[in-house]
Structure formats: structure tokens, C-alpha cells
Structure 1
Amino acid sequence: MSKEHELSQRRQCTLLQLSRSTLYYQPKGESAANLRFMEIIDKQFMETPWYGSRQMARHMKRQGHKCGRHRVRRLMRLMRLVPIYQEPNTSKKHPAHKIYPYLLKGLAITRPNQVWCADITYIRMERGFLYLVAIMDWYSRKVLAWRLSNTLDADFCVAALKEALATYGPPEIFNTDSHTIGASSRMV
């Protein structure tokens, strides 16, 4: 946009479909208080990289700074600070779930379809986790079936098991970690 142009600035803005306030906008830098907060956030983030905006705001409050969560979130985004997410705990046993005896101790595995195993692991993504269940034959180490899910419910485990059963028939022994997959009544 030019002030010296034969068209008025109003007409130029209309033709470009811009509001006239765009012409007069002057970007402002961060205030001195925000710069001080950013320095404190950066220093604390180096010590505790798992702190998100809520935990960081609580830390700031404990230190005596008047800085709300949304302000902290905006400043963390501005500095491109992304917390390291805490890993999901897939290994908690529920006290009501029955624990089955471990049948594989000392067992010689000599043929395919004798023993299958199932395990769940998580895959870190940009915004959380995906859970992967794999059904494997212990003898051949072949992955018989697998599924991904964004929740730790039993449906995707059951789907993987059904696929393996439909393709390879039932194994003599199906081994799980006994508290995550095997705890579901649909798997037993």
C-alpha cells in the first residue's frame, strides 16, 4: 500500500479486502513482565521438562509471581516449549482380576501353535499415545496379528486375537502378561 498512490488508502483497502486498521497496526513486543516470566519459565523448564502450563503456573504462584495458567500457556507456546508427556502406566493390576498360574516355566516349546503370547506397548505420538497389541507365536516368533488403538480398552485386543484364531486356529497355550490383556473377561 502506498500513500502516494492515486487511489486513496481507503479505496486500496477496499479493493484488497483489508480493514483499514491493518494499515495502522504496529506490532508490540512482549512487556518487561512477560520477558521476566519467560526467563523464569525457561529456567524451570530446563529442570522439569514434563511441566505443562498448569504445573508451571502453580510453580510460578509458589514462587510469588502473579501469572495465570493461560498466560503461562501463551508464553510457553511463544517459546515453543512442549512438555515431555509422562508415560502411560500399562502395568497396573486390578485387585479384582483373577491371576492365572504361569504355565510356561520349564516348558520346552518345540512346534508352531504350541504357545502364543500377546503384549501391549505404547507408541509416543505428538499429542499422546497409541497402544499396539501384538499376538505372536513363540516358536516361530512370527507376529500373527496386531492392532492399534488410542485407548487401552479390550476391544482392539479381542479383535487381534480373533484375527489370529481365524487364520491359524487355537494354540495350546495363550500367554499374556496376566494383568493388562489377560485381565479382560473377553480375552479369557
Structure 2
Amino acid sequence: MIDSKLFIDKNHGLSIRKQCEILEINRSGLYYEPKGEPQQNLEIIEIMDRHILEEPTAGVLTMQSMLQDRGINAGYERVRRLMRLANIKPIYPRRHLTQWKRNDYIHPYLLRNLAITHSNQVWEIDITYIPMAKGFMYLTAIIDVYSRYIVGWGLSNSLDADSSLRVVKEAIRDHGKPMILNSDQGSQFTCKEYIDYLKDQQIQISMDGKGRALDNIYIERFWRTIKYQHIYLNPATSGVGLFTRIKKWIEKYHYRAHQGIDRTKPINRYKMAA
């Protein structure tokens, strides 16, 4: 568990209550000392997070070998636990697919050979690990595939489904509903609450095949961009500082020419074709 106090700036102009609301942290977490990850584990996570951007197929054994090459001895179970903690997922097909109870909520992939011609036709959602000077947080973001515009995002100190669903609800509130919302098969996106909400909104649900590299490629590329151009360069020291910096960076990103959409700006393409 991550110490929530690492994310709060008591000297910030915002009240602690408001900071907790922004960062989706329960205020009760400020009044006790949960056990945090040792600094060496945080360093290992950051190394693996960088590595997965360069070698997306790297699984536990590959990560373990890579760490050994760097002089870091970490056992298989330790590497696996830290990868799960940081939501670091390789994109190779697994030989044996575990039959989970939540399979009832897994949906087929709908984007293959689909012509994406306008905004709010297809959104992609994902969660990624964001390193900080001390500790880390999780960033959930939703990208409009046609325009590459970020229609919603949020920070949290947990991987619970409520945080992801909140980002979806806020994106729909601000931008309307997509026809299709694509995700991976993570527990946040295969829980009853998430699926029921999308069905109530009459949104088609699309999910990546296990380990397929291209199924959620646009949000994956966004992760690479924001991490290399911003997050890794100067890690934030507080959650509110991280929130403010990501907000400003995304605002600038929307007004930059994007190579993947013929050098147009995401905000212009989104509004033009909405």
C-alpha cells in the first residue's frame, strides 16, 4: 500500500480536503502510516516501466534477466509482484488463459478493419504507472482515436475500478458518449459496475485480445509520449504538483501538431469532426 501522505502538500494553497478530492484519495488515509514500498522496489519499478516502453513483449523472466544485467538481483515472485503493482503488462499472447469468474464481462474486439471517420466514434481507455520523487500514482486516460484528443483523465493511488469508472463518467459528461469504448481485459474494465454503466449508456464495449500489441495502440503511444517528454524528466514531489503538471502538459499536447493525424492539432481535429 502506498502512503497517501506522500501525495499531499500541506503548504499548498488548496485545502487538504480539496487535494484529496482531486487525487481521489480517502482522507482517512492521511491519519495512519500504511506500509510503503521500499525505495529499491520503487527504483526497480521505474526501470521496468521504462523498459516496457522499449520492449513491450517483456514478461517477468525478461524483466528479471534485464535487471540482473544491471546488477540487480530480484527473484521471480518479486518481479511479478512489482509488475502487477505498477500495472506493467507485456503484450505477448499467453499460452494458457486463466478462466476467471469475470469472463462473463469480457467482450470481443470490435475495431479490426473498422473505418474510424469521426470524433466520438471510438475511445480507448487505459491505466499506467506514474513515478514520483517518492512513491507513485496511477494515471487513467481516455483518448479519442480519430483525433488523438484526451477526452478524460484522472489520478489515483489505487487500481480500483471506481477510479476508472469516474474518469469515464466525467469524459461523457464533458464530451458526450462514444459509439465504442475499447480497453484491455484488466479487472477495472471487466467488473460488473463498469460493464453495466456502459450498457446503460448504450455504448458498445470492445476489449483487446490477450496480449495483442496493436489493439489499444493509440493510448499506448500516448503513454510513451507523456512519459518520455514529461514524467521522467522531472518527477513530481506531491500529488497535487503531479496533477497540475499533467493538466498543463495535456493542454499543450492538444494544441501541438500531431504526426499521426497529418500534422493537425488534436483539439482542432476533435472539434471539427465531432
TM-score by length of 1: 0.52
Query: 2 CA distance for matches of 1:112 and 1:151?
Result: 30
Structure 1 position 134 matched with structure 2 position 154 = no
Aligned length: 112
Contact 1:119 1:181 in 2 (8 A): no
Q: CA deviation at 1:131?
A: 0.6
Give, in angstroms, the shift of residue 107 of structure 1: 0.3
CA RMSD of aligned residues (A): 2.9
Q: Is the 8 A contact 1:118 1:181 kept in 2?
A: no
CA–CA separation in structure 2 for the residues paired with 1:94 and 1:148: 30
2-side partners of 1:136 and 1:155: how far apart?
19
Residues 144-155 of structure 1 correspond to what in structure 2 (within 5 A)? Answer: 144-155=151-162
Query: Unmatched 5+ residue regions in structure 2?
Result: 1-69, 91-97, 196-274
Please, which of 65, 72, 76 is the counterpart of residue 48 of structure 1? Answer: 72
Question: For residues 187 and 94 of structure 1, do their structure 2 counterparts lie closer, same or farther at Cα, with a shift above 3 Å needed?
Answer: farther
Secondary structure of 1:97 counterpart: helix
Structure with larger RCO (C-alpha < 8 A, sep 6+): 2
Instruction: Please give the alpha-carbon distance, in whole angstroms, between the structure 1 residues aligned to 2:128 and 2:187.
Output: 11
Q: What residue is the counterpart of 2:101 in the other structure? A: 96
Residue identity matched to 1:100: H
Query: What residue number does 2:166 align with?
Result: 159
Amino acid at match of 1:161: V
Is the aligned partner of 1:185 residue 2:189? no
Q: TM-score, normalized by length of structure 2? A: 0.36
The structure richer in helix per residue is 2
Matched, 1:168 2:192: no
Structure 1 residue 100, shift from structure 2 partner: 0.8
Instruction: Map Cα deviations across residues 23-66 of structure 1 (whole Å, 9 max, x no partner).
Output: xxxxxxxxxxxxxxxxxxxxxxx833669xxx9xxxxxxxxxxx
- The CA distance in 1 between the partners of 2:188 and 2:124, in whole Å, is 10
Larger Rg: 1
